């Protein structure tokens, strides 16, 4: 029988200060252009398939680390739209229910603060429709199997989705495995229709000890790196820190370019 646990707010993992592990706003630096150019095409984000990998010039050595990310949230909060935004895809104007599991690959380069080492994070985002999760019992275990991080979503225009966060976190923590947990509030720019106040968000952060990121619903500029950088950098920092703690070392085994297509992070 699998070990069961009850997750309390004080059980949440350590929250890192932004920029404590990776260089913040590195995407704005001149020395980052060579690396960010690999995820861009004609000034827009490149779309990567499941088997595609970053290719660097022979004289540039860079490692790739692989992670599985599960997007959790009730129907309509914007899980599919968030995955598209993080990947730089076009965001659909109309909402549609995800009928099964959809996966999206995001590559994101970071520079480690202490060593100056550059890493590519390959984030495979898993998104599953709420109705599909209810109908098919095997889908949620598949999404959570060997997962490295869970993004818990709520919408600023949907009060019920915010009130359900504690239940989401409890369900996402049932396995008690080491998993990075972050919260994302969507449709933040629709302030005229907000059902969740800043005071309530601050209180949630204080109680649960989880960072909350705010993402807008604007679909006009999906290639803006500055908009997604805070969330992707934070995710990279916590994933890297989690692995460092697990291995009791700051130097981790990573996949080289030649291995990137076959080696999956565990």
- What is the tens place of the pLDDT at every residue in 215-255? 876 655 556 788 899 999 999 999 999 998 888 654 544 44
pTM, two decimal places: 0.83
pLDDT tens digit sequence for 73-97 = 888 888 988 999 999 888 766 666 7
Cα 167 to the center of its chain, rounded Å: 20
Nearest to 48 by CA among 101, 89, 109: 89
Q: What is the DSSP string of 129-151?
A: -HHHHHH-TTHHHHHHTT--EEE
pLDDT of residue 194: 83
User: Does position 259 have pLDDT exceeding 60, yes or no?
Assistant: no
- In the DSSP assignment, the letter for residue 206 is H
pLDDT of residue 130: 76
């Amino acid at each position: 029988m699998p070990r069961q646990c009850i997750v309390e707010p004080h059980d949440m993992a350590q929250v890192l200060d932004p920029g404590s592990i990776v260089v913040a706003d590195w995407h704005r630096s001149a020395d980052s252009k060579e690396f960010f150019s690999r995820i861009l095409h004609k000034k827009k984000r490149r779309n990567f398939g499941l088997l595609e990998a970053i290719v660097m010039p022979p004289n540039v050595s860079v490692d790739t680390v692989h992670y599985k990310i599960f997007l959790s949230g009730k129907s309509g909060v914007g899980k599919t739209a968030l995955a598209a935004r993080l990947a730089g895809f076009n965001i659909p104007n109309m909402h549609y229910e995800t009928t099964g599991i959809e996966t999206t690959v995001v590559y994101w380069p970071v520079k480690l603060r202490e060593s100056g080492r550059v890493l590519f994070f390959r984030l495979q985002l898993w998104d599953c429709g709420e109705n599909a999760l209810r109908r098919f019992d095997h889908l949620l275990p598949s999404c959570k199997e060997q997962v490295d991080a869970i993004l818990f979503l709520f919408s600023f225009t949907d009060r019920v989705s915010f009130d359900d966060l504690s239940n989401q976190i409890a369900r996402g923590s049932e396995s008690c495995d080491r998993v990075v947990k972050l919260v994302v509030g969507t449709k933040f720019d629709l302030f005229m229709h907000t059902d969740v106040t800043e005071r309530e968000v601050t209180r949630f952060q204080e109680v649960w000890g989880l960072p909350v990121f705010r993402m807008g619903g604007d679909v006009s500029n999906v290639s803006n790196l500055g908009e997604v950088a805070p969330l992707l950098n934070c995710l990279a920092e916590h994933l890297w820190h989690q692995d460092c703690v697990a291995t009791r070392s700051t130097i981790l085994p990573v996949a080289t370019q030649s291995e990137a297509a076959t080696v999956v992070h565990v």
